[in-house]
Chain A
Amino acid sequence: MLYRENGQFKTSYRADLQLLPIAQDRWFVLGLLAFAYLGLPFLASDYLFRALIVPFLILTIAAIGLNILVGYCGQISLGTAAFMGVGAYAAYNLTVRVPQLNFLIVLALAGFAAALVGIGFGVPSLRIKGLYLAVATLAAQFLLDWLFAHVKWLTNDSASGSVSTATIKLFGIELQSPLRKYLFVLTVVCLLTLAAKNLVRAHAGRAWMATRDMDVAAEVIGIRPLHSKLSAFAVSSFYAGVAGALWGFVHLGAWEPAAFNVGLSLNLLFMVIIGGMGSILGSFFGAAFIVLLPLILNQVPLWLGIPLSTATQSNLESMIFGSLIVIFLIAEPQGLARLWAIGKQKLRLWPFPH
């Protein structure tokens, strides 16, 4: 009863094209943003920002990127973490070698560096697909991983191969406290989400979806597969690169060569599957789920009075991830985002049966 669009008429093309056509949705998003910017800073503790909210937001960016590639364009990738790594190392080298550069520019350039590498490894997708592409992207993962550890120039000749970053300065403000970091990351996430949301309903996104659904048919109606696939790789890697730079600079601060390993890539893929393939909203759900699950597994046994060892916890975690993936693929291939959409649909009629 509360959630219905009766009486909301669209009288102009602009109104018809807007991102959130239903007034309740607009209010909900506005309320959520207001809460995130004005409410949460007073409610959440520093620990919560550091351990939960900031990682969640950063991983969301990477998941959106992977979702564009896997969910919208239908190209599987097992190398997202490596592209994150490209972004992180690019940002590190830029800040070390050109210290006067504004961090926002560094972030954008890190994204572009990752996009370039992404296009390079996307080239095989023009000849191969599916299973074969999985191996090609795995090659990217292992090769880049190795390069991060072995090319000394990338780590500025650090002896151990690990890298540590200075505090980010943005227009004279130091991003030192978790709260400031949170607000910065939140802003980046909002901007990138808006961009992605618009991108997938514009020409580019439609070309991706057509390629995903049937590449031959897409080619027949005049979509160039070269353009659509490589642009999906580029945009996806751009997001991964920005996420990687943020992950390194804002979340980790200092990292070792193994920080961007294949495990992270697989986790990102799980976020996309569980959250919902082909849904920007799903990327948020997926990232939240993957960040929350270890914490829940940590806390619940404590409340129940049966403390688990860390090894058991991580094993339990991978068991739960594994079975959830199979369950989602069988029961709800469109993931949590689909459940959300079903809930909304039900809400339109509630409390009436018809």
Chain B
Amino acid sequence: MIQLDGQRSLANLQLGRLRRQWPVLALAVALLAGLAAPLATRAAAPGFFLEVLLAGLMSGVLYALVALGFVLIYKSSGVFNFAQGAMVLFAALTTARLAERMPLALAFLVALGLMIVFAWLVERLVLRPLVNQDPVVLLMATLGISFFLDGFGQIVWGNDIYKIDLGLPKEPMIVAQQTFDGGVLVSREDLAAAGIAGALVLALALFFRHTAIGRALRAVADDHQAAQSIGIPLNRIWVIVWSVAGFVALVAGLVWGSKLGVQFSLSEIALKALPVVILGGLTSVPGAILGGLIIGVGEKMAEIFLSPVLSSVFGMAGGGIEDWFAYVLALLFLLVRPEGLFGERHIDRV
């Protein structure tokens, strides 16, 4: 059955390549259409365009913060942590309610302590009994954790919308008035949030690179068995990693919370971090950040420039593209490049 006819097999090969690459073509066409949309509407002044871009980048930073927690846990334990959103909500709620009674810094520390206790409990009660199980089982277990934590947090701390005042500057500023007509509106709060996120990423990078624990974490991420065989205690590493993810959740929760108020929807916004990590690659910290930015910008752009097109061409009621844009982008990515932008290529027969 060996095909010896060179001409024919080459033709087959090319046909096969074409067949394999049609999703790439489809994606390229879709992206081109997306880019052409603002030109078609012509309503976009460059200043307005920049404002949308900036707003997208800012919400992207926040997505990236949540996605960071996912990546940390996935890298070190192979668990796809559905509860990251619930952790964000719980941490933010705790800080917000405690800050009513004590200084913010103290509330922050207490919340951090609680997140560490939570990490320890999760390792003890959930991860350890389920070790070596199918990833899907672990995913469902974290779904359970997330439901538990959502309910628990709101029973203890209440269901309302709470405010956190981080002391960030609220009033927006207008820059580049000379270059563009009307200037570009920039929220200082968003800038501060971006600064915090950047500092957090830098701190994590230093922690991973230069401390003994960080090296141990990276070893575990590379190879569980090899790490264990040279004496790295896996259980303790998991507690540490969940604590670090808890810390990231706390920071993300505070930044989100001061922007939107601490409320249940925080837990749902964090669902957006799933497509972000798919886009960036499940195992890559820079990927999480870039993925967050792409999704943040993409959905804002789609909301502003694509929904008028949709409503004029198909007669749909506009708006709400933000709800699904990230997921559909991730879906397309999955079809074309399942490992994401920076993830490790993981070949698996399906």
Taking CB atoms and an 8 Å cut-off, the chain A residues in 197-243 that contact chain B are 215-216, 225
Tell whether, in the assembled complex, residue B141 and residue A130 are in contact, meaning their CB atoms are under 8 Å apart: no
Question: Is A152's CB within 8 Å of the partner chain B?
Answer: yes
A333 vs B147: C-alpha distance when bound (angstroms): 18
Stretch from B55-63, B202-210, B231-239, B329-337 contacting the other chain: B329-337
Neighbouring A residues of B125 by C-beta, 8 Å = 326
Question: Is A151's CB within 8 Å of the partner chain B?
Answer: yes
Question: Is B143's CB within 8 Å of the partner chain A?
Answer: yes
Other-chain residue from B154, B319, B327, B335 in contact with A127 (beta carbon distance below 8 A): B335
Tell whether, in the assembled complex, residue A131 and residue B139 are in contact, meaning their CB atoms are under 8 Å apart: yes
A143 vs B151: C-alpha distance when bound (angstroms): 27
Taking CB atoms and an 8 Å cut-off, the chain B residues in 153-187 that contact chain A are 154-155, 159
Query: B154, B315, B330, B331 — which one has the most chain A CB atoms within 10 A of its CB?
Result: B331
Query: B136, B274, B320 — which one has the most chain A CB atoms within 10 A of its CB?
Result: B136
Tell whether, in the assembled complex, residue B151 and residue A317 are in contact, meaning their CB atoms are under 8 Å apart: yes
Write the chain A residue with the least CB distance to B318. A150
Other-chain residue from B136, B141, B152, B320 in contact with A146 (beta carbon distance below 8 A): B320
Min C-beta distance of B136 to chain A, whole Å: 5
Question: Is A319's CB within 8 Å of the partner chain B?
Answer: yes
A215 vs B274: C-alpha distance when bound (angstroms): 26
Tell whether, in the assembled complex, residue A152 and residue B331 are in contact, meaning their CB atoms are under 8 Å apart: no
Tell whether, in the assembled complex, residue A326 and residue B349 are in contact, meaning their CB atoms are under 8 Å apart: no
Tell whether, in the assembled complex, residue A149 and residue B350 are in contact, meaning their CB atoms are under 8 Å apart: no
Neighbouring B residues of A134 by C-beta, 8 Å = 80, 136, 139, 274
Stretch from A9-17, A175-183, A279-287, A308-316 contacting the other chain: A308-316
Question: Is B148's CB within 8 Å of the partner chain A?
Answer: yes
Write the chain B residue with the least CB distance to A308. B155
**Interface size classification for chain A:** 35 or more
Tell whether, in the assembled complex, residue B327 and residue A135 are in contact, meaning their CB atoms are under 8 Å apart: yes
Other-chain residue from A142, A312, A321 in contact with B144 (beta carbon distance below 8 A): A321
Write the chain B residue with the least CB distance to A321. B147
Min C-beta distance of A178 to chain B, whole Å: 31
Other-chain residue from A143, A145, A318, A324 in contact with B328 (beta carbon distance below 8 A): A143
A316 vs B159: C-alpha distance when bound (angstroms): 12
A320 vs B317: C-alpha distance when bound (angstroms): 39
Question: Is B260's CB within 8 Å of the partner chain A?
Answer: no
A316 vs B145: C-alpha distance when bound (angstroms): 13
Write the chain B residue with the least CB distance to A229. B350
Given A138-B271, A315-B155; A145-B323 close (CB under 8 Å): yes
Chain A interface residues toward B at CB < 8 A: 74, 76, 124-132, 134-136, 138-139, 141-143, 145-146, 149-152, 161, 215-216, 225, 262, 266, 269, 273, 311-312, 314-326, 329-330, 333
Other-chain residue from B146, B155, B317 in contact with A152 (beta carbon distance below 8 A): B317
Neighbouring A residues of B129 by C-beta, 8 Å = 330
Tell whether, in the assembled complex, residue B350 and residue A333 are in contact, meaning their CB atoms are under 8 Å apart: no
**Interface size classification for chain B:** 35 or more
Write the chain B residue with the least CB distance to A272. B140
Can you offer 8 A-B residue contacts whose CB atoms are under 8 A?
Answer: A127-B350, A135-B278, A139-B331, A150-B317, A151-B314, A322-B150, A325-B144, A329-B133
Given A145-B323, A326-B125, A326-B126; A151-B148 close (CB under 8 Å): no
Tell whether, in the assembled complex, residue B130 and residue A150 are in contact, meaning their CB atoms are under 8 Å apart: no
Neighbouring A residues of B349 by C-beta, 8 Å = 215-216
Min C-beta distance of B270 to chain A, whole Å: 13
A324 vs B151: C-alpha distance when bound (angstroms): 13
Question: Is B348's CB within 8 Å of the partner chain A?
Answer: yes
A135 vs B324: C-alpha distance when bound (angstroms): 11
A107 vs B319: C-alpha distance when bound (angstroms): 32
Write the chain B residue with the least CB distance to A310. B159
Tell whether, in the assembled complex, residue A325 and residue B271 are in contact, meaning their CB atoms are under 8 Å apart: no
Tell whether, in the assembled complex, residue A322 and residue B350 are in contact, meaning their CB atoms are under 8 Å apart: no
Write the chain A residue with the least CB distance to B126. A326
Tell whether, in the assembled complex, residue A318 and residue B151 are in contact, meaning their CB atoms are under 8 Å apart: yes
Neighbouring B residues of A135 by C-beta, 8 Å = 274-275, 278, 327, 330-331, 334
Neighbouring B residues of A329 by C-beta, 8 Å = 130, 133, 137, 140-141, 144
A333 vs B133: C-alpha distance when bound (angstroms): 11
Tell whether, in the assembled complex, residue A325 and residue B147 are in contact, meaning their CB atoms are under 8 Å apart: yes
Neighbouring B residues of A126 by C-beta, 8 Å = 350
A269 vs B315: C-alpha distance when bound (angstroms): 35
Taking CB atoms and an 8 Å cut-off, the chain B residues in 80-133 that contact chain A are 80, 125-126, 129-130, 133
